[in-house]
């Protein structure tokens, strides 16, 4: 090979790199557009107030996570100098930020405070973390305790380990696996029909310093791919229960398998005349599930919902141990 050929070959390399630049830009634009299109599709259901079909309900549970692909899409659009993509990315991020704001009103209740209740709701995953629940109950001393996925063994342990003098009142659905649920109380309970559902949902009427309060444990089926319609149906059943109270003091607590980003859950709040206690206390985005993820990455699917005559404070989410849920503890004040 001649010296002249070598020089020409070397001189050609920069030109080849320059020719590849537009192709790299187009590749970045295509990838950024694909990411933004996917996020926009999910956001479309949120804007339309719909949960759609699988996988939309499952993704909506983690709506804040969409900030990541949206930000990457915007960055790729900027690298590609794609102006339409940059405007699109900014708009998507702004819309996500809008919908991440807490949902529902938080106005204080009218009237004077007449009673106070400490409430705890805990899903202990097939009864696996009964010991952790007992430690939390002894530390927090809730007046009302809602326990989901409390099987026969869990139910028996709670009966044995929690003194009857402390929790003399009990309503339960005794069953195996996730279908069992227990409602324990320091305040008097009168039996009341629960909600007929796949998983146990016992109910009662509590006597809170002379004021009747409807109490209902909530545990609808999760929105698994084959159970989305059932999930909607059981959330609607909870909504109908709440609406049937016609303004009577009501507490509905448990594992709702739904977040504020699900249309079915927002319908429950609006149609049932309920407010989320965590929202009232400024903790509406605090994750309760799954505990396998660091807390900022989870979703809040455990809730204590109340009628507008309740105020809420001291809301906390507790690590129990070998369960995929954090327990929710909140102090409620009833106003008249």
Instruction: Per-residue pLDDT tens, the chain, 336 aa: give them.
Output: 444 444 444 444 545 455 455 777 788 999 999 999 999 999 999 999 999 999 999 999 999 999 999 999 999 999 999 999 999 999 999 999 999 999 887 888 999 999 999 999 999 999 999 999 999 999 999 999 999 999 999 999 999 999 999 999 999 999 998 999 999 999 999 999 999 999 999 999 999 999 999 999 999 999 999 999 999 999 999 999 999 999 899 999 999 999 999 999 999 999 999 999 999 999 999 999 999 988 788 999 999 999 999 999 999 999 999 999 999 999 999 999
Cα distance between residue 209 and residue 223, in whole Å: 38
DSSP letter assigned to residue 169: E
Tokens of 195: 């909600």
Give the separation between CA 92 and CA 238, rounded to whole angstroms. Answer: 33
- This prediction's pTM: 0.91
Q: Tens digit of pLDDT for each residue in 283-320? A: 999 999 999 988 788 999 999 999 999 999 999 999 99
* 296 within 8 A of 323, measured Cβ to Cβ: no
The strand pair at 113-123 and 144-148 is best described as parallel
Domain ranges of the chain: 3-99, 113-335
Of the candidates 240, 244, 195, 236, the residue with the CA atom closest to the CA atom of residue 218: 195
DSSP reduced 3-state for 335: strand
Can you name the residues that pair with 316 across neighbouring β-strands?
A: 329
Contacts of 160 (CB under 8 A, 6+ apart): none
* Cis check: omega of the bond before 145, within 30 degrees of 0: no
Structure tokens, 230: 């059932």
State the pLDDT at residue 20: 59
Instruction: Read off the tokens for 142.
Output: 């809730």
Are 228 and 53 in contact, with CB atoms under 8 Å apart?
A: yes
The predicted pLDDT at position 21 comes to: 58
Q: What is the pLDDT of residues 96-141, one digit of tens each?
A: 999 999 988 788 899 999 999 999 999 999 999 999 999 999 999 9
Does the domain spanning 113-335 belong to CATH 3.90.1150.10?
no
How much is the pLDDT for 295? Answer: 76
Q: Which two tokens stand for residue 169?
A: 């009142």
| Contacts (Cβ under 8 Å, ≥6 apart) of 86 | 74, 77, 78
Distance from C-alpha of 92 to C-alpha of 77, rounded to nearest angstrom: 13
Enumerate the β-bridge partners of residue 120: 145, 329
How confident is the model at residue 104, as a pLDDT? Answer: 82
Q: How far apart are CA 147 and CA 182, in angstroms?
A: 5
**Percent of the chain at pLDDT exceeding 70:** 94
Gap between the Cα atoms of 235 and 233, Å rounded: 6
What pLDDT, on the 0 to 100 scale, is given for residue 40?
A: 98
What is the structure's pLDDT at 103? 87
C-beta separation of 333 from 280 below 8 A:
no
């Amino acid at each position: 090979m001649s010296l002249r050929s070598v020089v020409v070959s070397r001189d050609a390399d920069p030109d080849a790199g320059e020719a590849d630049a537009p192709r790299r830009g187009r590749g970045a634009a295509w990838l950024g557009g694909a990411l933004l299109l996917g996020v926009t599709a999910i956001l479309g259901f949120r804007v339309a107030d719909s949960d759609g079909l699988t996988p939309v309900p499952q993704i909506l549970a983690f709506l804040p996570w969409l900030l990541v692909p949206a930000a990457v899409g915007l960055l790729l659009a900027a690298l590609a100098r794609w102006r339409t993509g940059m405007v699109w990315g900014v708009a998507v991020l702004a819309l996500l930020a809008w919908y991440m704001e807490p949902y529902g009103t938080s106005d204080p209740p009218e009237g004077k405070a007449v009673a106070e209740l400490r409430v705890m709701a805990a899903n202990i995953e097939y009864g696996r973390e009964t010991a952790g629940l007992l430690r939390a109950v002894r530390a927090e001393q809730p007046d009302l305790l809602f326990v989901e996925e409390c099987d026969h063994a869990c139910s028996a342990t709670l009966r044995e380990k929690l003194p009857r003098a402390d929790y003399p009142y009990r309503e339960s659905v005794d069953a195996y696996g996730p279908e069992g649920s227990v409602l324990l109380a320091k305040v008097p309970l009168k039996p009341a029909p629960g909600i007929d559902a796949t998983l146990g949902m016992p109910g009662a009427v509590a006597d809170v310093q002379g004021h009747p309060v409807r109490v209902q444990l909530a545990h609808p089926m999760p929105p698994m791919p084959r159970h989305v319609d059932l999930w909607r149906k059981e959330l609607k059943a909870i909504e109908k229960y709440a609406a049937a109270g016609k303004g009577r003091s009501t507490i509905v607590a448990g594992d709702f398998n739904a977040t504020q980003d699900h249309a079915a859950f927002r319908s429950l709040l609006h149609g049932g005349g309920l407010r989320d206690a965590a929202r009232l206390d400024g903790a509406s985005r605090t994750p309760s599930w799954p505990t396998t993820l660091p807390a900022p990455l989870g979703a809040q699917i455990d809730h204590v919902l109340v009628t507008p005559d309740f105020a809420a404070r001291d809301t906390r989410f507790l690590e129990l141990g070998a369960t995929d849920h954090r327990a929710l503890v909140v102090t409620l004040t009833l106003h008249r």
